[in-house]
A and B are shown apart, each in its own frame.
Chain A
Amino acid sequence: DAKTTQPNSMESNEEEPVHLPCNHSTISGTDYIHWYRQLPSQGPEYVIHGLTSNVNNRMASLAIAEDRKSSTLILHRATLRDAAVYYCILRDLRVGFQKLVFGTGTRLLVSP
C-alpha cells in the first residue's frame, strides 16, 4: 500500500482558512488522492479526491503538486464543525473496489 505522511495535529481559528498537507512521495501514476474526515463519535465521511488537477467541491479544495508527491486539503473558512481527524489516502484506480488504508491522519482543532 502506498504511504502518506501527515502532521499529527493542526490548529486553526474559526473563519480562517486551513491548509492540511499530505506527503506521498512514492505515489504511482495510477493512484488517486482521496481525503476523508472523521468527526467525533462518527464514521468517516468522504471529503474530496483528485488525480492530477486541482479540485473544488462544496466542502473543500484539493491542491495537488505538479510532481504529485504532495497535496493540500484547503478549508476556505474553518467552522467549529470542521474539527475532525482528516485522512489522506491513496487509491489505485486500476483496482476497482478496494479497502481504504487509513493512517493516523491530522487532528484539526478549531478555536472560536
Chain B
Amino acid sequence: GAGVSQSPSNKVTEKGKDVELRCDPISGHTALYWYRQSLGQGLEFLIYFQGNSAPDKSGLPSDRFSAERTGGSVSTLTIQRTQQEDSAVYLCASTRDRFTDTQYFGPGTRLTVL
C-alpha cells in the first residue's frame, strides 16, 4: 500500500522567505510526527499530532515554526522568515497503533536556505 509521502522532495529558498512543507500520512493513521535532521546530526523531534490536535509541540525551535493538520490527514509544517540554520531534512512519520506506536517515515523534504 501507499506509504507516507512528503512534498516537495527538495526546496531551495532565500533567507527570510516563508516555506511550507507537506506530509501525507498513511491512510487511517491517527498520529503524525514531524522530525528534522540537520547535516551530520541526529534526528530531532519537532511536533506531533493526534487527530488534528497537537499534544506535544515541545520540539519546535522557535515561533517561526508552526504546523497544522486538517481532516485528521494531511499536515503542513510552515517555517516563516527562514534562516540558514533551518537547512535540514524534514521528516514526517505516521502511526496507527498507540500501544506499539510503530512509526512509518516518509522520504523527507530537503530544505536549503541560501
Which of B4, B59, B104, B108 meets A99, CB within 8 Å?
B59
Main SS of the interface on chain A?
Answer: loop
Interface size class, chain B: 20 to 34
Is residue B103 within 8 Å, beta carbon to beta carbon, of the partner chain? yes
Interface size class, chain A: 20 to 34
Q: Which stretch of A14-22, A40-48, A60-68 is in the interface?
A: A40-48
Q: Provide the bound-state CA to CA distance between A108 and B69, in Å.
A: 36
Q: Provide the bound-state CA to CA distance between A104 and B44, in Å.
A: 11
Given A96-B98, A96-B101, A97-B98, A43–B93 Cβ distance below 8 Å? yes
Other than the known A93-B99, A97-B101, A99-B45, what 12 A-B pairs have Cβ atoms closer than 8 Å? A43-B4, A43-B91, A43-B107, A44-B103, A45-B105, A91-B101, A96-B98, A97-B31, A97-B98, A99-B56, A100-B33, A100-B93
